[in-house]
Amino acid sequence: MKLNVTYAFVFCLFVEGLFSCSKDKTMEPLPCEANPSFETEIKSIFLNNCTSCHNSNVNYAGVILEDYESIVANINHSISEMKAGTMPYDEDFRPAITSSLIDVLNDTLIEKIDCWKLNGMKNN
């Protein structure tokens, strides 16, 4: 009889363990430390690093990155290119990652753009 009680107890613990465990949830990204301003911080990153190829006159690959609407429309692709080091290009049309003329965009600047995106891409 004691053996049956022990088995029943172990079985109950096992069943409780199955139902009390849940799938681990993916961690939410940590909130940004600051909320970058589009006009004073984000726009200048794009103007200083992207608009030599992506402006109203040149618009390489049909992409313009000189105003709020165009930056928002291209934000995901822009961030992925910056993180990969494939943008910006130098004057010899080599990506930053292989260029000796320009550097890959600083991680701090990319994080600032990511933070602005996570905060809702406000036109502030």
Whether 26 is covered by a domain: the verdict is no
- The residue segments making up the domain with residue 112 are 38-118
User: How much is the pTM?
Assistant: 0.72
Q: 17-46 pLDDT, tens per residue?
A: 545 444 444 455 456 777 899 999 999 999
Phi and psi (nearest 5°) for 81? -65, -40
- Measuring CA to CA, which residue among 86, 98, 20, 100 is closest to residue 49? 86
Whether 24 is covered by a domain: the verdict is no
Whether 68 is covered by a domain: the verdict is yes
Whether 22 is covered by a domain: the verdict is no
Whether 31 is covered by a domain: the verdict is no
Whether 124 is covered by a domain: the verdict is no
User: Band of the pLDDT at 7, cuts 50, 70, 90?
Assistant: low
Whether 100 is covered by a domain: the verdict is yes
Answer for the pair 60, 109: CB distance below 8 angstroms, yes or no: no
Count the domains in the chain: 1
Q: So what's the pLDDT on residue 26? A: 46
